[in-house]
Chains A and B, each alone.
Chain A
Amino acid sequence: MSGGVATVPRSGSEPAKSWRTNRKLDQWIAFWSVPFFFNLFGLVFVPLSWMMPPRSPSSPTPRIVDFMHSHNLLIACVILTLAYGLAPVSNACYLMQVKRMSVSPAFRYSMMVGAMTGAIVGMLFPMFCFGLGAFRPGYSTAVLTMLYDFGYLAFIGSLGCFCVMWMAFGLAIILDENNILPKWLGYYTIWQYVTELMAAPVWIVKSGPFAWNGLMTFWFAMILYVSWQFIVYFCIFKAIKNQPESEFA
């Protein structure tokens, strides 16, 4: 995470150029926690536990029980328990740039609260559900099926919390007069949060394009989300880089 920062040679004679006195150091740490966090997430969710792409909501009970009791799911839950604390750090890099915008602080506070509630429902709830299945083998199949439903619905169907967070982010970009982030990124963010709202039907149906592993609710939203995440990350990088030193005086 901080490997890139730590390799910068220290020069005692010129303290002004030392990495420790870099006024953007806090922002860069928050920034580089994002790829670390997402790579870890990708590894845990896809090749380790195969929690993603989502398993079918109408899987037969024996398959659900096998999944909930699998060792890989247990290891995944251990890593997630330890790593979830990185979410606040990685969200800090967005908030510090939003703070520079000309818009009302209400946008920043909405983002903060949206990120918090989103993390509780979308990250902690699933972790508890899958963790209970993995760490407590005594539960009956009916309870395990419920935990499986609960975990996936919290993970995929809870996006309303993140929706408000990114709505505040998108609107802040569009209304900002300091041009901290490009205006088109604000519009891109609108598509991103609208497609998150599209996940609402996962509560209603268990198969087809609107189930939690469906074409409309998962795959289209995922394509938009992943490309958006890369682009927003690139734009934040440019924004931190272009931030004038005079702002820190």
Chain B
Amino acid sequence: MTDVAEGSAAGVDESVVDARGHVPGESSMWFFVIGDLLIFAVYFVGYMYFRSQHQDLFLQSQARLNVDIGAVNTVMLLTSSLFVASGTAAARAGNSANALRAWAIAFAFGAAFPLLKLFEWIPEISAGLTPGKNLFFMYYFVMTGMHLCHVALGLVIMCFVIRNLKTSAQPKISLVETGATYWHMVDVLWLVLFALLYLMR
């Protein structure tokens, strides 16, 4: 594993890139993304196992979640990812002004996610649906909480990308691509979480 990661890190700046196709962003970020997806996959398998053990409890508890806010949040993240993609394309084409605008809009949609999460969590917690209620709510708060940490880190990374686009005459494309890679991962994780926790019957 270590050798593979180092080997590809050394190769990115060399001519290997042209031969094998371009690796977007920094390769260490791809190491992170793939590992993070694996870790979440293990958590999802654990969730599915315990769900099959207590199917009725999980179904009854799931019915008390706020699917509307969950769906709106899904749309927020997907829209945000769309603007990230178009912003990255604009940055590659050398159009910094368009890239900056797209990333700023993407940031606004991304920042709406934690706010909506508050409107979702506070009524639930005040209604007594806390992590201590049962196993489903423990999973719900731990997994969405972990995802929220990823969103928070993603917003910080977006600020760095926006600063890069705003202040430098020659923006670092690798930083833009690294940020985009991370943000798309946050999006993918949410899609799986939304399906598993809110929708699966």
Residue numbers of A with Cβ under 8 A of B are 182-184, 186-188, 190-191, 194-195, 197-198, 201, 204-205, 208-210, 215-216, 220, 224, 231, 234
Residue of B nearest to A223 (CB): B42
Q: A191-B36, A209-B46, A231-B2 are in contact. List 6 more A-B contacts (CB 8 A).
A: A182-B28, A187-B32, A191-B39, A201-B131, A210-B142, A216-B43
Q: Which B1-59 residues have a C-beta within 8 angstroms of A?
A: 2, 5-6, 9, 26, 28-29, 31-32, 35-36, 39, 42-43, 46, 50
Q: Are A215 and B28 in contact (CB under 8 A)?
A: no
A197, A205, A216 interface centre (most CB from chain B within 10 Å): A216
Q: What residues of chain A lie closer than 8 Å to B2, measured between beta carbons?
A: 182, 184, 231, 234
Q: What residues of chain B lie closer than 8 Å to A197, measured between beta carbons?
A: 149
Q: Which B115-169 residues have a C-beta within 8 angstroms of A?
A: 131-132, 135, 138, 142, 146, 149
Q: Are A190 and B146 in contact (CB under 8 A)?
A: no
Q: Are A209 and B135 in contact (CB under 8 A)?
A: yes
Q: A183-B28, A210-B138, A210-B142 are in contact. Are A204 and B132 (CB under 8 A)?
A: yes
Q: Are B131 and A208 in contact (CB under 8 A)?
A: no
Q: Are B138 and A183 in contact (CB under 8 A)?
A: no
For B, the interface residue count at a CB cutoff of 8 angstroms equals 23
Q: What residues of chain B lie closer than 8 Å to A190, measured between beta carbons?
A: 32
Q: What residues of chain A lie closer than 8 Å to B146, measured between beta carbons?
A: 194, 198
Q: Are A220 and B42 in contact (CB under 8 A)?
A: yes
Residue of B nearest to A227 (CB): B1
Give the Cβ gap from A138 to chain B, nearest Cβ, in Å.
35
Residue of A nearest to B133 (CB): A204
Residue of A nearest to B132 (CB): A204
Q: What residues of chain B lie closer than 8 Å to A191, measured between beta carbons?
A: 35-36, 39
Q: What residues of chain A lie closer than 8 Å to B36, measured between beta carbons?
A: 191
Give the Cβ gap from B151 to chain A, nearest Cβ, in Å.
13
The CA of A215 and the CA of B135, in the complex, are separated in Å by: 13
Residue numbers of B with Cβ under 8 A of A are 2, 5-6, 9, 26, 28-29, 31-32, 35-36, 39, 42-43, 46, 50, 131-132, 135, 138, 142, 146, 149
Give the Cβ gap from B154 to chain A, nearest Cβ, in Å.
13
Give the Cβ gap from A79 to chain B, nearest Cβ, in Å.
34
Q: Are B28 and A187 in contact (CB under 8 A)?
A: yes
Q: Are A208 and B43 in contact (CB under 8 A)?
A: no
The CA of A187 and the CA of B32, in the complex, are separated in Å by: 6
The CA of A40 and the CA of B36, in the complex, are separated in Å by: 32
Q: Are B35 and A220 in contact (CB under 8 A)?
A: no
The CA of A191 and the CA of B150, in the complex, are separated in Å by: 11
Q: What residues of chain A lie closer than 8 Å to B6, measured between beta carbons?
A: 182
The CA of A167 and the CA of B11, in the complex, are separated in Å by: 28
Q: Are A184 and B28 in contact (CB under 8 A)?
A: yes
Q: A209-B135, A216-B43, A220-B42 are in contact. Are A201 and B31 (CB under 8 A)?
A: no
The CA of A187 and the CA of B42, in the complex, are separated in Å by: 18
Give the Cβ gap from A101 to chain B, nearest Cβ, in Å.
16
Q: Tell which of B28, B32, B46 touches A220, judged by Cβ atoms closer than 8 Å.
A: B46
Q: Are B31 and A187 in contact (CB under 8 A)?
A: yes
Listed by A's residue number, 28 A-B pairs whose Cβ atoms lie within 8 Å are: A182-B2, A182-B9, A182-B28, A183-B9, A184-B2, A184-B9, A184-B32, A186-B28, A187-B28, A187-B31, A187-B32, A188-B35, A190-B32, A191-B39, A198-B142, A201-B131, A201-B142, A204-B131, A204-B132, A204-B138, A205-B138, A208-B135, A209-B46, A210-B138, A216-B46, A216-B142, A220-B42, A231-B2
